[in-house]
A = this chain, B = another copy of it.
Amino acid sequence: MELIEKIQLGQIRAIAKAITLIENNTEEKEKLIDALHPFTGNAYVIGVTGPPGAGKSTIVDRFIQFERDRGKKIAVIAVDPSSPFSGGAILGDRLRMQTHATDRGVFIRSMASRGHLGGISTGTSGAIKVFDAAGFDTIILETIGVGQTEVEVIEMADLILLTLVPGMGDEIQAMKAGIMEIADLFLVNKSDLDGADRLKSEIEYMLMLGSGMNEEAIPPIKMASAKNNTGTEELYISIFERLNLFKESGLLANRRKIRIQKEIEHIFASKLKEILYTRLNMKENINLWIERVYNREIRPYTFVNEKMMELKKENVL
């Protein structure tokens, strides 16, 4: 496949095209992902999450600079759960693209939800493979980290950094709780603001409670001001120290294998759905079935179990 070669050469248009093909669930998707597969597994995927206003973009921009100073190629996938209706993601993306527009070692791509098709997960997972095969050393996944899809996405990362800032409402901080359990590194950003030390203590306390008061089990908490560029290099270094630790301990391989398991299960599920829908003439029959369930003539589980029995008798299942 010619496209694969262009991706491996790091050609920007080929990369963008491949991501779009995967995101839109086109026929080429399967072949493309399989063709990329042998060339993946080299990039580090770093998840950066935190509430709106926590300074994620600034952190990521500093990160880009550090990586470029060391001659590394870096890609950023900005996951935005809001719809194209707002236009927010796209606008922000374009502004950020301009800053790095002349640098071919940086690629920023935003993933916005396309209606209710759950395309964010597929698109993000595909984009990671494309960037990985294209020779990017590091891939940043940036999300606000609320809700199950976001957790699904952030779990595609090898390491998760949670960014918090002092002075946000308690409710907003509470929204992060689901993420707190899976974060590998914490950052108190805007460390020059009042309440930064207190926030650090609060995070420490919550983590201690969550770990059964085992101090050794809690992840590091860093302080930085991304805007003033203080503490950011230390953060950058500790991210890679931790990644090396994960690599040595086998945790990194484990996480990647869990991702592969999810992928295999997902592919099986979608193939099965296709087959079932054909065998049951789902398209022709579904409206009749809905009508009967709606009118309380049949009950949902009893009905599906009967259909499955029919297929078994016909040796279809």
Contacts and interface: CB of A to CB of B under 8 A. Distances in A.
Interface of A: 30-31, 33-35, 37-38, 40-41, 52-53, 81-83, 85-86, 88, 113, 116, 118, 120, 144, 146-152, 155, 169, 171-172, 174-178, 180-181, 206, 210, 253, 256-257, 260-261, 263-264, 267-269, 271-273, 275-276, 286, 289-291, 293-294, 296, 299-305, 307-308, 315-317
A175 B82 contact: yes
Majority SS of interface residues in chain A? helix
B85 A180 contact: yes
Contacts of A38: 296, 299
Given A82-B174, A148-B148, 20 more contacts: A33-B301, A34-B299, A34-B301, A37-B296, A37-B299, A52-B174, A81-B148, A81-B175, A83-B177, A83-B181, A85-B210, A113-B148, A116-B152, A257-B291, A260-B294, A264-B286, A264-B289, A267-B301, A268-B276, A269-B272
Contacts of A293: 37, 260, 263-264
Contacts of A83: 177-178, 180-181
19 contacts: A34-B301, A37-B293, A37-B296, A37-B300, A52-B169, A52-B174, A52-B175, A53-B169, A81-B175, A82-B174, A82-B175, A83-B178, A118-B148, A147-B149, A148-B149, A256-B294, A257-B294, A267-B304, A272-B273
Contacts of A174: 52, 82, 86, 88
A144 B178 CA distance: 14
B116 A264 contact: no
A29 to B, nearest CB: 8
Contact of A171 (B37, B52, B317): B52
How many copies of this chain sit in the oligomeric assembly?
A: 2
Contacts of A155: 116
Given A169-B52, A286-B264, A294-B253, A177 B299 contact: no
A169 B152 CA distance: 26
Nearest to A151: B116
Contacts of A276: 268, 272
A12 B296 CA distance: 25
B148 A146 contact: no
Nearest to A152: B116
B146 A120 contact: no
A49 to B, nearest CB: 12
Nearest to A41: B296
A162 to B, nearest CB: 13
A113 B152 CA distance: 13
A151, A304, A307, most chain B CB atoms within 10 A? A304
Contacts of A120: 148
A186 to B, nearest CB: 14
A291 B253 CA distance: 10
Nearest to A269: B273
A264 B210 CA distance: 39
